[in-house]
Amino acid sequence: MTSDGRQIRRGVRVALAALLVAASQLVVAAETFNPSPNAIEIPAWFQETFLDFREDVREAAKQGKRLMIYFGQDGCPYCTRLMRDNFSQKDIVDKARGSFNAIAINIWGDRETRWTDGKTQTEKALAARLGIQYTPTLLFLDEKGAVALRINGYYPPHQLRAALDYVAGKQEGKTPFAAYLRSNAQQAASGRLHEQAFFLRPPLELDRSRRPAPRPLVVLFEQKECAACDELHRQGFEDPAVRKLIGRFDVARLELFGADRAVTPAGKPVTEEQWGRELKVAYTPTFVFFDGNGREVFRVEAYVRPFHLASAFDYVASGAYRSEPSFQRYLQARAEKIRAAGGRVDPW
């Protein structure tokens, strides 16, 4: 073979190798682009992006929209409810599609993301960094990538509608979300606050700053016109597991927009409404958990069924929050332990 022939053959081999490398890079890029598999079907109008949220925010702003990021996981009954009961309703879908670009994140996923500060991490690392404790969690970003609203957990349709209107209308700098919900997400309710024998009696002197308390404290915020509060007393507090665990806490109930006075765990005199505003409580019922020293360690601020409510109480009462920062991992381990002992787990 002539030297010219050998050079031609080498050139062909180099070209083929370059094509193979390019093809493999395209495959990797395609695999990175595809969303993580979801047993819970994500609506087709959610967008598939490269998860560079700086670019996603810019793209939404160009379209006159904001960004809505859904954090979910497979096997999540509340995520199923969000998709089935909320995103199946035309008016909710129209509100969401008209004002937001929606992106789905799997809190256990391995796709690479780039957050608004430019930091790169996997989906699960991002979820941990953002402190995602509940699924679904909805994060709404404004035109500059700042969080306009965060919903930690499941909101029923009438409250999600209000949340979408609140962010789409750019109300975050004008009206507290709690006040907006109160005015725009009414639902038929009993119109009264329910009493429980385990509630601390007023005046609520909850100061733990000078002397640690022997038991953790849970502060429950409710409203009179609150269907979910009615359900809590009718079902949640009647659940045997919840009642057993709640006996390990001091329990203080406050009215979210009430005028009664209390002393916080930090020793600060406040009204009920003032403290709710300082804690950024919007949803009722909300549970805020404090340790014996008066430090907030956990909260439940969305709709939950008895199993998850009992798990929240157990998470704090057992001290598991100290060694397991992920409530979702704790939930999985607790459910497995109950099943292994022959018990039944009813997540909904």
Query: What pLDDT sits at residue 39?
Result: 53
Q: Which residues pair with 140 in a beta bridge?
A: 68, 149
Q: What is the pTM of this model?
A: 0.86
pLDDT < 50: residue spans in the chain: 3-6, 8, 10, 12-38
Contacts of 126 by beta carbon, 8 Å cutoff, 6+ apart: 105, 113, 115
User: What residues form DSSP beta bridges with 204?
Assistant: 262
pLDDT of residue 186: 87
Q: Check residue 180 and report its DSSP letter.
A: H
- Which pLDDT value is given to residue 33? 32
CA 108 to chain centre: 14
Q: Which of 153, 152, 149 is nearest to 172 (CA)?
A: 149
The span from the CA of 180 to the CA of 161, in Å, is: 12
pLDDT of residue 348: 86
| Bridge partners of residue 138, in order along the sequence | 70, 151
Strands 100-106 and 112-114: unpaired
Q: How far apart are CA 97 and CA 91, in angstroms?
A: 10
